[in-house]
Structure formats: structure tokens, C-alpha cells
Structure 1
Amino acid sequence: MKRLEVETRTILLALTGSRLYRVHNENSDYDYKGICIPTLPYFIGTQNFEQLDSFSDPNCLYSALTDTDSNIYNIKKFCHLATLNNPNILELLWIDRSDYLILTRFGESLIEIRDAFLSQKVFYSYSGYAHAQIKKVQTHRKWLLRYKEDPDFFSLPPNPKDYGLEENPLRKEQLNAFLEFLYILIKDASQYSEVATELLTQVDYKGLLKQYPLAEELLPAVQYYTRSTNEFITLLHNTQTYRQALQEYEAFQSWRKNRNSKRAEIEEKVGYDSKHSGHCYRLLKSGIEILNGEGVIPNREITGDAQFIRQIRNGEVPYDTLIAEVSKLEQEMESAMKNTKLPKYPDQKLIEEKQIEIIKEYLNF
């Protein structure tokens, strides 16, 4: 779908990012997220549309979106992500009315059932996103300190031979195909264990398998269950460790080349990435609030921590203080999860019924 058609069929559009959270500064971008209802062929035909994330087309209704980092989602895609309790998606239904550029009665109808999306998945999604942010902070800090000690650090890409690869490593598609096969075996085996089945619904194990090398102590079990040869398991292990090193090398080069100059200046001064740190703190606080039954509160002025998050983003909080705060919040989140009254899963039945109702009425179907 083209931009003009998507914007014409948008039922909800809102300001997001740091300006939504009230932790922005004068140089912060304006970013938006929204929900649209495509035409009938996209629901029952062969055409597919999940989201629009390019706003360079000048033929549009809302010029404010031009060249911004924005997204407008098909209502089906939005509801799917919301049932996963994706932090960047859930907040769209809890925004101050003044932050909506578009809010039709169809958008209002979805907001009416926003509590149906909330579940204990919040613990895994919010803590997972927060962990990803602090992991970036720690990685960038490691690079920063290492680069100061040794400017030639990562000057050359890793050599496959240093990882025991005398022949070519497995191609990415070969590696992913094997890990997909391994995941299917794990999933099939989990049907005999209630605990394993529960974990598979809460944790993205497929993503973890593809993101991190298999632990060396697990390789014998992997070999046994997949009936692989010794040679293949060795090649698998060496390929994964090499590709992880290559990925870090490429990430380091990209970080040095593309990082925002203002953020780089703060990072050099305080020794950590202040933007990722602010995201981590906010996500953990938000996750605790939701688990405690307070709902989703994007506006951090309301919760009283906007000033502290701004201080983190400005590099005014020492690194050790930041890590201590994050550790404290992680413990609070564990406690909130133990005591939460949220249901295990979203109310899929209500969400499905409402989604169908909105689509049918909008399309006069």
C-alpha cells in the first residue's frame, strides 16, 4: 500500500519516542506510530500488508511524518504485537489525548479493550527489551575503554583460521536451517513437559538459538538429538564462534561510523551510552508499574521519574549509580511478577471479537 492510501485509512496515529515520554530535549526527533485498516483484498486475498515504515513519498495527508522514523501498522499486525506485550506497541493505547494526531471512533473502540492485551508476558517483554538496552550499554562501554587503551583494536576483521576453520564456515542460511531443525526437535520434545511448554510460550527460544552460540557443554546433547557427525558439530561450533566475533567486529565498525555526534560526545565524557541507558531504566520502571496493576504510563512526568531519565540521557548520572539502579529495578520487577494479579495470557477471545467488529464496520462488510 502506498503512503497516501495508508494515511487515508489510518484510525489512530500518535507521537512516540522521547517526546511522548516527556524526556526529550530541543534536538529530539518527532516520531509517530499508528494503526490502519487496509482494503478487503489485504484480508481475504493474496495481497499482504503489515506496516508502512517509509515516509519519503511527498504524496501524503500528513506532512509531519515525512522522513521520520515512524510506523503505521495493519490492525492485525498491531493486535498480534500487542498480545505479545511489545512495549513499543502497547503504549499506543495509553497515550494522553493531546498526543494523538488521529483518533477515530475505531481507534477509540480499540482503546476501550486495552486492558485485555495485558498479561504476565509483560515481565518477559519489558525485562527482555531492558536487558537488550543495557547489553548495548555494556558492549559500547567495553569498546570505548578498549579503544582508548588500544586504538588498533578491531582494526582487522577476525580470521576464520583463528577459529579452527581451515575450510569455509557454514553459510548463514545453512546455520539457520540447522538451528530451525534443532528448535523443532526441542518444541516436539516439550509436549511431554508442562514446564517446558510454558517456557516456550514465554521465551523466544528460536531467537536465542540464532543469536548466541550453543554452549560447548551442550554440544554432545545436540549431536545426539540431531544425529550429527563429529565433524559437523565441530564445524558448527567453530562457525558460531567465528560469526559471533565477526558480528561484533562489524557492529563496532558501524558504531564508530554511525553513532550520533552528540551522543558520542556524552559517551566519551561519562563512559556509557546515555540514550540506551535511559531506555533501560524507563522500560524496567514501566514493567513494574504494569505488573503492579497501574497500567501503561508513557508520560514519565506523571510517574515522577522524567527528570531522572533526562539526567541519565544527559550523562549526569555516574555509570556505577546507573548499574546499581538497574539492578535494584530488576529485583523489584521479579517481586512484582511474583505478586502480580495480571492473567497469564491476554484475553484473545475479546481481542479477536473486537478486531473483527472494527474491521467489518470500517469496511461495511
Structure 2
Amino acid sequence: MRNDFLSILEENTLYRVITGSTAYGLANEHSDIDEKAFVILPIAYQFQLGKEWETETFHNPDIEYHSLKKALFLLSVQNPTMLETLFVPENCIVEQTAFGRKIRENRDIFLSQQCFYTFGGYARDQLVRIKNSLFGLSEEEQNSHLQLKLTNMIDACKDKYDLQQIEMNINEVRVENDHRHIALCNLRANNIDLLQLSPMISELGNTLKSYQKRKQVKKPEEKLYKHAMHLVRLLLTGIEVLKTAELTVYRQKDQALLRSIRNQEMSWDELFLLTEKLFVELEQAKEHSPLPKKIDKEKINQLYTNMMVDYFGLQT
């Protein structure tokens, strides 16, 4: 049954690319080849009462299939690994129909200053995981990280959901006797539609809940250095995107630095100093970025509508 569905996915793929270390130019003999693909399922799948299909992962080879709708959503929220799919070098494109080309040609509409929060957020989370695995974070350090994470999320959500008129800040994060994190905030909003506020509160609440599940997990240093390489790559890429409005997936100019990190040629103290410097550069890049503050949702919705109408030959 699963193999039958794989055949349907393959037959209806619009765009399929090689991602990960191969696309970054950082693969070694231990690296797998990872791929991502965008799909529009046949019309029979579009009009049924069951849960709408979004994503499926297969192995050997490792490939993630996403519905076009899910792919465009992840692109619109500036998911770094999804954004990279539209900027991989031509030699990493495995399959590209006219519809796939259309998405790639419109890739710039998915870039905005929200990249600061996604690239920086992923990198900071990775840094905290590394430090937690190496040393075990103190309660104070965990609280500080969570407070910063929630504060950045508030800034991102205010742009994403057009909530610039509200004032919200996280006053305190602490751990209760039952080991739960709680976050205390101030919120000032005059005459605002509660439904407009709901998505931001939901995102913040989900982040707080997921933080409770984190545990210290010891990992081999080899794996930690690999994670460190990718966190530095994320920061370098995020800085470039914010400065130039371009995203270079193949990190040719950074290869020596990134490989030296993976090969454990840099001490942890040196690495933490480097990341501290890069976080400052990321902040500065956002302040002077030529990118729009937020994406144009109407443009993305129109792209999706036009593609679905054209794909199925519908009349509008």
C-alpha cells in the first residue's frame, strides 16, 4: 500500500531536489543523500472528507514529499531547510516540471526579515542543545534561553500576524516545584479582535509546552561538532540573506571553516566565541536589511491558486 502511494507521489512530483550536506558542498564518506519534493496529488485526493495529506518521508533514498500547499506554507514562514530547496544549485535539481520552475522563479517572494527569527532561532536552539549535552545547562541558563526565545517569537509574530499595535513582553521565566517552566508576561492591547491574537498565543503556548520535554542527552563529540558546523552554516546563511536578499546554499567560500569545525579543529571555547560574534552580525544585518519586513501573503496565495487552477485545468 505504501509503495503504491510512493508511485503516486513520484508520478505527480512538480519539483525534486537534493538537499543537506551534498547541496551545501559539505558531504563526506558518511553523508547520506537527502532529497525533498513538492507534489500535487490527483484531483480525487483533493476532494474527499478525510484528513488532507501533507507530508510523507521515505528512506533508501531519504526523501521528504510535501503537498504543494504544505510546501508553500513552510516557505512562507521562512523555514530554512525549505527555503534552501528553491536556491539549490542547478546540478541539485533532480526533477523540475513547468510548475516546479514557476515556484523557483518566484522564490524571492518567500524572503523577508522574518529570516532573522527562523535562521537565528534554529541556530540558537542548536547551540543550547550542544551546551546542554556538553555541560548540562543550569536552571538559570535554561530560563534565560526560554525567555529570549519567547521574546523573539513575540517580535516575529507581531510582524507575521499584523499585531504591531500590541505591547507584550516576557517579564519572568521560572521553574515551579513540579519542574514545569512558567512564563509571566505583560500584554497591552486596545480593542483588538481576540481571534487575531489567538495564533500568536497558541504559538507561544506550544513553545512553552515543548520546552518542558527537553532533557539533557549526552551525545558523542563527533555528532556535536557536526551540529556545530550546521549551526554556524545557518548563521552565515542568515546573515547573507538579510544583507543581500540572496540565499547561497552551496557554501563554497565557507567550506574551509565549516569543515574545520566538523573535523574538531576548533575548541568549544573558540566555537562559542565565533557564534557569539555571528549572532551580533545577524542582528546588525537585520537592522540594515533590504528585505521587506514581512512576506506578501496575497502574492503567495495567488501563486498557489494559479498553479492549482492551471494544473487541473479549472475555470475561474
Tell me if 1:71 matches 2:27: no
Alignment partners' CA distance in 2, 1:192 and 1:285: 41
Q: Secondary structure at the match of 2:78?
A: coil
Do residues 360 (structure 1) and 309 (structure 2) align?
yes
Q: Which moved more, 1:340-349 or 1:10-19?
A: 340-349
Corresponding residue number in structure 2 for 1:295: 246
| Cα displacement (A) at 1:164 | 5.6
- The alignment's TM-score, normalised by the length of structure 1, stands at 0.66
Matches within 5 A, 1:97-246: 97-142=90-135, 190=189, 204-212=203-211
**Distance in 1, Cα, partners of 2:210 & 2:186:** 17
Query: Within 1, Cα distance between the matches of 2:221 and 2:208?
Result: 36
Shift of 1:293: 2.2
Deviation track 1:10-66 (CA, whole Å, cap 9, x = no partner) reads 11111111111011111111111110111224434323100111x2xxxxxxxxxx4
Q: How many angstroms does 1:306 deviate by?
A: 1.4
Cα shift at 1:136: 1.2
* C-alpha distance in structure 2 between counterparts of 1:351 and 1:278, whole Å: 32
Question: What TM-score, normalized by structure 2, do the two folds share?
Answer: 0.76
1:51 to 44, 50, 55: 55
SS of the counterpart of 1:292?
helix
| Runs of 4+ with >6 A deviation | none
- The structural deviation recorded for 1:67 is 2.8
**Residues 364, 192 of structure 1: CA spacing in aligned structure 2 closer, same or farther, 3 A cutoff?**
same
Structure 2 unmatched runs, 5+: 138-175
For residue 244 of structure 2, give the secondary structure of its aligned residue in structure 1.
coil
Shift of residue 84, structure 1, vs aligned partner? 0.4
Task: Give the Cα separation in 1 of the matches to 2:28 and 2:189.
Answer: 49
The answer to whether structure 1 residue 266 and structure 2 residue 222 are counterparts is yes
* Counterpart-to-counterpart distance in 2, 1:282 and 1:49: 32
User: 14, 26, 30: which one pairs with 2:29?
Assistant: 26
1:164 and 1:362 map into 2 onto residues whose CA distance is 56
Q: For this pair of structures, how many residues does the alignment match?
A: 269
Give the match for residue 233 of structure 2. Answer: 282
In the TM superposition, what is the alpha-carbon distance from 1:348 to its structure 2 partner? 1.4
Specify the alignment match of 1:348 in structure 2.
297
Give me the whole-angstrom Cα distance separating, in 1, the residues matched to 2:20 and 2:74: 18
Offset at residue 191 of structure 1 (A): 5.9
Matched residues in 2 for 1:293 and 1:191: separation? 37
Task: Tell me by how many angstroms 1:320 deviates.
Answer: 1.2
Aligned alpha-carbon RMSD (Å): 3.2
CA contact (8 A) 2:13 2:37 kept: yes
Letter of the structure 1 residue corresponding to residue 265 of structure 2: E
Identity of aligned residues (%): 28
Q: 1:119 to 1:201 in 2, by over 3 A?
A: farther
Amino acid at match of 1:306: Q
CA 106–319 in structure 1, closer or farther in 2 if over 3 Å, else same:
same
**Aligned counterpart, 1:6:** 9
Residues 204-225 of structure 1 show CA distances to partners (whole Å, capped at 9, x for unaligned) of 422332134xxxxxxxxxxxxx
Q: Counting strand residues as a fraction of each chain, which structure ranks higher? A: 2
Q: Secondary structure at the match of 2:85?
A: helix
Higher helix share: 1
Shift in CA distance, 83/164, structure 1 to aligned 2, threshold 3 Å: closer
Once residues 24 and 205 of structure 2 are traced to their aligned partners in structure 1, the CA distance between those partners, rounded to angstroms, is 32
Structure 1 residue 103 displacement after superposition: 1.1
Paired letter, 2:210: Q
Q: Where does the alignment leave 5 or more consecutive residues of structure 1 unmatched?
A: 56-65, 145-162, 213-242, 268-272
Partners in 2 of 1:294 and 1:210 — Cα distance?
34
Q: Judge conservation of contact 1:121–1:202 (CA < 8 Å) in 2.
A: no
Contact kept? 2:111, 2:245, Cα under 8 Å? no
Distance in 2, Cα, partners of 1:342 & 1:81: 18
Deviation at 1:192, TM superposition (A): 5.0
Q: Output the amino acid matched with 1:126.
A: F
